[in-house]
Amino acid sequence: MTTAVARPREVLITGAAGKIGRVLREGLAGRYGLRLLDRADLGVARSGETLVQADICDHAAVDAAVRGIDAIVHLAGVARIGDWQAILPANIAATHDLLEAARRHGVRRFVYASSHHAVGFYGRDDVIDETVLPRPDCGYGLSKAFGEAACRLYHDKFGLEAMCLRIGTMSEAPYDRRTLSTWISPRDMVQLTALALEASDLGYEIVYGVSANARSWWRNDRAEALGYRPQDSADVFAEAILAQPDEEEAIARRFQGASFAASEFRER
């Protein structure tokens, strides 16, 4: 297990009003000062919080939000199939601009919310790790593969420490057969994010955001080497879920990315 570096004092979380953002807002409260950015209403600021209501595509607002920040958790973006005109500015241009703002303002660490959809065209018989080539399953997955590569560039060229989290399915519990493989619990999501913010000797890493699921398609040795110890497992839900009929479409069932891979898929 690696030792931890000094905790960042001030962390910017983009997309803080989203599902994962709300979990991190609660789970990281009191651990760092939190600067929370989202275009949606963030409610009332709590102790240790600064709220920024702005669009991730608003260059000036984002640049201002990055000033004085030690680390960034970048969650904001569009997670839809087939909406490239929304994905391009929100997931690609905005991620580049945020990395550039991090460089300009001397941010030490960047935690990027990637997705298993960056590798979603691997089959369900494949067990993969962080070393595999990207196989995005849709435009959204392509944007996440771009984000991983952009983080690599900013590490290699400018020394930004970066961890890319290929997040599976975060929910209170797994809800179908596929999520028995992809599920990450909220508390494991908080643990993994805190690790990404605090682990020493980070350099550039890709890890999987997944709990301790026996059916997982992802080897997460790097996360474990850095100190990740998931507390939850989808296995405890397996009996009830496997007793239900499998209603997943046949093409979706072939790929790790499921419906994202199946959308507009053409058989050869």
Side-chain-facing half-sphere of 137: CA atoms under 13 Å: 24
DSSP state of 6: P
CB burial of 74-111 (b: ≥16 within 10 Å; e: otherwise) equals: bbbbbbebeebeebeebbbebbebbbbbbbeeebbbbb
Strands 109-115, 71-74: pairing is parallel
Q: Would you state the structure tokens that stand for residue 89, as one six-digit string?
A: 């500015």
Write the single-letter amino acid at 192: L
> Which of 134, 140, 120 lies closest to 182 in space, CA to CA?
120
Specify burial of residue 165 (Cβ count, 10 A radius: 0-12, 13-18, 19+): buried
To the query of whether residue 112 is one of the catalytic residues in this protein, the response is no
**Tokens 């409260």, residue located:** 29
Q: Which residue of the set 140, 154, 208, 228 is catalytic?
A: 140
Side-chain-facing half-sphere of 72: CA atoms under 13 Å: 33
Catalytic residues: 140
